[in-house]
Amino acid sequence: MTIPSVTLKAVLFDLDGTLYDRDALVARLFAEQFEAFGCELTAIPTKAFITRLIELDDHGYRDKRDVYRSAAAEWSLASDLCNRMENDFWTRYDEHCVLDADVRHTLETLASRGVKIAVVTNGGRDRQQRKLDALGISSWLDAILISEVEGVRKPDPEIFRRALTRCGVEASAALFVGDHPEVDVGGALQAGLRAAWKVVPYWSCDHDVPAVRQLSEILHYA
């Protein structure tokens, strides 16, 4: 499917899984954790540790405290180790937030064309803002909407409407790009925006919208 030929005045993005590869990030992070805490994880094979934590993480949709508590229970790990690994996770996370060259090119090109750019993300204020700062893109954004701050979460159309208002554009002139078929794509469509699905291997999208594997593909529409 292609996007109707109406000039786009704004492109709104999801953050995790869209502006950076979150699953690749946490896989590297869990591998580092195994090395860091290896002396306390001697009974667990490296691959089993990484694979199970990735499963428990559920692409970021599960609270990290629950992830590590579940792992501790399964492997009979000390409770204090669970807490230390959770804290270590967030300490390491920002260090791994690196902007992909294709994403950088996409954002720079949109900005050079005068297209408004916004991020609409679910999560905590401080944590999501730190990710944006670590990626180095906060200064490029015309609006940042974080669910904890807004008091409303995707897929509620209200958070998308607020983003449009802050960018000063109509829904028909805006495109939302996200990786979750319902939270991102479905929510944006409900709010009247056009949408594109950032393809990920672990979900499928039934909505009749363009599917992009690289973010720069949206530049054909902007």
d(CA 101, CA 112): 16
Model pLDDT, residue 157: 98
**Which tens digit of pLDDT belongs to each residue from 146-202?**
999 999 999 999 999 999 999 999 999 999 999 999 999 999 999 999 999 999 999
CA distances to 65, 119, 140 from 137, in Å: 28, 10, 5
| CATH homologous superfamily, domain 10-20+98-220 | HAD superfamily/HAD-like (3.40.50.1000)
Burial of 219 (0-12, 13-18, 19+ CB in 10 A): middle
**Which tens digit of pLDDT belongs to each residue from 201-216?**
999 999 999 999 999 9
pLDDT for residue 62 is more than 90: yes
CA angle 204, 196, 203 (to 5 degrees): 15
Contacts of 36 (CB under 8 A, 6+ apart): 88
Model pLDDT, residue 1: 54
Q: Which is nearest to 103 in space by CA: 66, 77, 141, 55?
A: 141
Listed by start position, the domains of the chain span: 10-20+98-220, 23-96
pLDDT for residue 98 is more than 90: yes
Q: Which one is predicted more confidently, 155 or 1? A: 155
Supply the mean pLDDT for the chain.
95
pLDDT for residue 87 is more than 90: yes
Average pLDDT over residues 125-154: 97
Q: Which is nearest to 196 in space by CA: 9, 12, 5?
A: 12
Contacts of 170 (CB under 8 A, 6+ apart): 9, 164
d(CA 19, CA 179): 10
Q: Which is nearest to 95 in space by CA: 131, 123, 141, 57?
A: 131
Question: Under DSSP, is residue 12 helix (H, G, I), strand (E, B) or coil?
Answer: strand
At 205, list the tokens: 């999208």
Q: How many CB atoms lie within 10 A of CB 27?
A: 16
Average pLDDT over residues 58-82: 94
Model pLDDT, residue 222: 72
